[in-house]
Structure 1
Amino acid sequence: MLLTVLAAVVQAVPTIPAFRKLHRRQVANATADLVLPDGRIAADAVAEDFNVLASVFKSAVVKGDGLVFSDLIVFPEVASPSIFDVATNTKAFEITLSDASIFIPEGGEAQENIRRADLLPSIRSTLDDVATTGVRTMHFSVQSDADRPLNLTHDYQIMNLESADFTFHQIDVRTGGDAGENIVVNGNSQTAGGAPTLFTTPFTAGEFQNFALQMDFDANTVQVFHSTGDAPLESVTEAVANDLAGNGEYHFSLQKNPVGTAAQPTGIDEGIIFGGIFMEADTVTLS
C-alpha cells in the first residue's frame, strides 16, 4: 500500500520542460495565479480578434480616428517564430501605419504630426497595478518588415511603460531618429539631463530581436536581457538604477514622430512585427 502511494506521488510531480530555462529570482514568491499581461497570439487568430473586448489587448485604443485594429493588424510570414512563441504555438503579428493613423486623444486635439498605433494589454492585467508591482519581467520580440520599411530619419517608439498620469515614460524602447539603425532601451524620461540609455543593439533585418526587461518596482532597477534570432536570452546589463514609480500601462506600438516641425510625408505604408509578448513574476524565461 505504501509503495502504491509513493508511486502515485512521484507520478504527480510535474517536470519542467527542457526548453524552459529560467533565471530565477525570489522563486519562493512566484505568483502564477496573477493575471499578468500576455499578448501571445493564437495560431488560428484573425485580425478581427483584436477588435473585441475579449482580446488580449485593449480594443478601443490607440489607433487612428475611425479605424479598428483589424484595419491595422496583419500576420506576416517570418523565417522563424519568436523564441517566446515556440512553446505556446503562438504567432507573430504586425502593426501597420498609414496616412490615416492619426490618433485623437479623448477630449484632445488630433495628433496631426504623428502617425501611431499602440496595443495595450487588456484591462484584466492592469487591475490593482499588478503589472507594476514587485519584480516583473516583460518579454517581447520585434522584427522589421522589408515590405513595409520604416523611414529611419524619423524617431519611432516601439515599446514603453507610460505613467498613470500620462506625463512620462519609466521605460522607452525606440529606433530611428537619434538611434539610427539601432534599437535603444531608454530609462525614465524625467531623469535629469534626459532619459539614460540602458542598452542599444543593431536592428538587424530578417530576424527577431528578443528582449526581457526585468523591473524591480521596489528597488527601482531595470535589468535588460537580449538575444537575436533563435538564440536564448543573455543578460546584457546589470540591474541598473531607474525610477519606476508612477504605475501606468505598457504600450507595444509603432509611433512615428515628426522630424522637427515638418509635416508627415504622405503615402505611408510601414510596419513592425511583434512576437512572444508576455510578462512573468520574479523570473526570466531565457528561451
Structure 2
Amino acid sequence: MVSSTLIVSLLASAASARSVKRGTGEIKCPVVLSGFVLADKTPTDFDAYATSPFNPDYIRGSEKFSQILQFPDVGSSRFDNASTKSVEVTINDKSIFQTQNGFRRAGLQIQGDTNEGGPGSKGVRTLHFSVKQDPERTLNLTHEYLNVWHEASDFSANQFNFQTGTLIGKTGGNANTFKVLNRQNTQVWETPTDPTAWQNFAITLDFVKNTLQVYYSKDDEPLEAVTAALSNDNSGEGQYQIGILKKPTGTSDVVNSGFQETGIDEGQIYGGLFIEDSANGCISL
C-alpha cells in the first residue's frame, strides 16, 4: 500500500515539473526564450556572450552594457523571485546606436532570438515583461519613447509597439500613459503610467492566425486580458526589442536628426522577461 505522504510528495513533484514558481506569478507554459537576470549577475557579466542572458553587442552605443545597465533594489516583479532580479536600461548623451543620430537608444535582445527563423516568431508566442519607474531617472514625456516592440526581419515595420510619451503626429493623447500599437501604428490600448507600482504586461502574437492580444496587471495581481485577440499582420519574422528608444523632436527624419537635450540621464526598470509558447491557449497569468 502506498502511503498518503508519498502520494502527496509525488503530486507535488508532478506539479513542480509542470510549472516554475517565481514570486507570486506561476509560469505554466514552456519558456521559449528567457530574459531572467540571475541575482548573482554582476555588471561585467553583461559584456560577454558566455555570461549574459542578452546579446552583449546590441542594442547600444559606444558604452558597454556594464556602463549603462543598473540593478536597483526595487523588490521582485510578479514573475521574479529571490533567485532573479530586475535590470534598468539607461540612456545618456552617448546612447547613439550605429549611425542613428536622431535617437538616444539602448536595449536588450534575449540571446537565441534570431532575426530569421527564430523561436520567438513562430506558432503562438507570449512576451512577458514588467516595468517600474526610477524617480531618479525619469523620462522626458515631451518626447516619444519606444520601449518594447517586435521588429520585422527586414526592419521595415514592427508587428507591435509598446510606447509612452508624446507620440509624433498624434494629437490629443495623454503623454503619461503606456500605449500598445499594432502594425499599422493604430493604438489598441493604453493605461496610465504608475510612478511607484510594478506594471505587468503580456503580449500574445499568434503567427498562424495573425492576431495580437494584450494582458495587464499591477504588482502581485494576476494578469487579465485587456483586449480581445485583434487582427494584426504578424508576418516578417524578426526580433523582440526591450529597452528605451527616445525619438527626437522638431524633425520628420527622426532616425538621423532632430532635437535631443543634453545631460540626458533616463532609465526604465524591467523585470520578469520571458517568452512562452502559448499554443492551445496557454498563458501564464
TM-score by length of 2: 0.85
Query: Residue type matched to 2:76 in 1?
Result: P
Within 5 Å, which residues of 2 pair with 1:29-108? 32=30, 36-54=32-50, 55-64=52-61, 66-78=62-74, 80-86=75-81, 89-104=83-98
2:272 pairs with 1:264? no
The residue that corresponds to 1:284 in the other structure is 283
Residues 153 and 180 of structure 1 are in contact (CA less than 8 Å); yes or no, is this contact kept in structure 2?
yes
Query: Residue type matched to 1:147 in 2?
Result: E
Residues 158 and 254 of structure 1 are in contact (CA less than 8 Å); yes or no, is this contact kept in structure 2?
yes
- TM-superposed deviation, 1:158: 0.5
Within 5 Å, which residues of 2 pair with 1:75-224? 75-78=71-74, 80-86=75-81, 89-104=83-98, 110-123=99-112, 128-178=117-167, 180-188=175-183, 191=184, 195-224=185-214
Q: CA-to-partner distance for each residue in 1:144-197, whole Å, 9 max, x for gaps?
A: 211001100000110000001111100110000135000001111xx3xxx121
Q: How many residues align?
A: 262
Residues 142 and 272 of structure 1 are in contact (CA less than 8 Å); yes or no, is this contact kept in structure 2?
yes
Query: Counterpart of 2:119 in 1: which secondary structure?
Result: helix
The residue that corresponds to 2:254 in the other structure is none
Q: Percent identity?
A: 37
Residues 37 and 125 of structure 1 are in contact (CA less than 8 Å); yes or no, is this contact kept in structure 2?
no
In structure 2, how many angstroms separate the alpha carbons of the residues matched to 1:170 and 1:128?
16
Query: Counterpart of 1:70 in 2: which secondary structure?
Result: helix
Residues 25 and 79 of structure 2 are in contact (CA less than 8 Å); yes or no, is this contact kept in structure 1?
no
Residues 223 and 235 of structure 1 are in contact (CA less than 8 Å); yes or no, is this contact kept in structure 2?
yes
**Residues 124 and 135 of structure 1: CA distance in aligned 2, closer, same or farther (over 3 Å):** closer
**Residues 83 and 258 of structure 1: CA distance in aligned 2, closer, same or farther (over 3 Å):** same
- TM-superposed deviation, 1:137: 0.8
In structure 1, how many angstroms separate the alpha carbons of the residues matched to 2:130 and 2:71?
15
- TM-superposed deviation, 1:123: 2.7
**Residues 20 and 201 of structure 1: CA distance in aligned 2, closer, same or farther (over 3 Å):** closer
More displaced stretch, 208-217 vs 152-161: 208-217
How well do the aligned residues superpose, as a CA RMSD in angstroms? 2.4
The residue that corresponds to 1:27 in the other structure is none
In structure 2, how many angstroms separate the alpha carbons of the residues matched to 1:43 and 1:203?
27
Residues 41 and 91 of structure 1 are in contact (CA less than 8 Å); yes or no, is this contact kept in structure 2?
yes
More displaced stretch, 154-163 vs 45-54: 45-54
Query: Counterpart of 2:118 in 1: which secondary structure?
Result: helix
**Residues 42 and 199 of structure 1: CA distance in aligned 2, closer, same or farther (over 3 Å):** same
Query: Residue type matched to 1:260 in 2?
Result: G
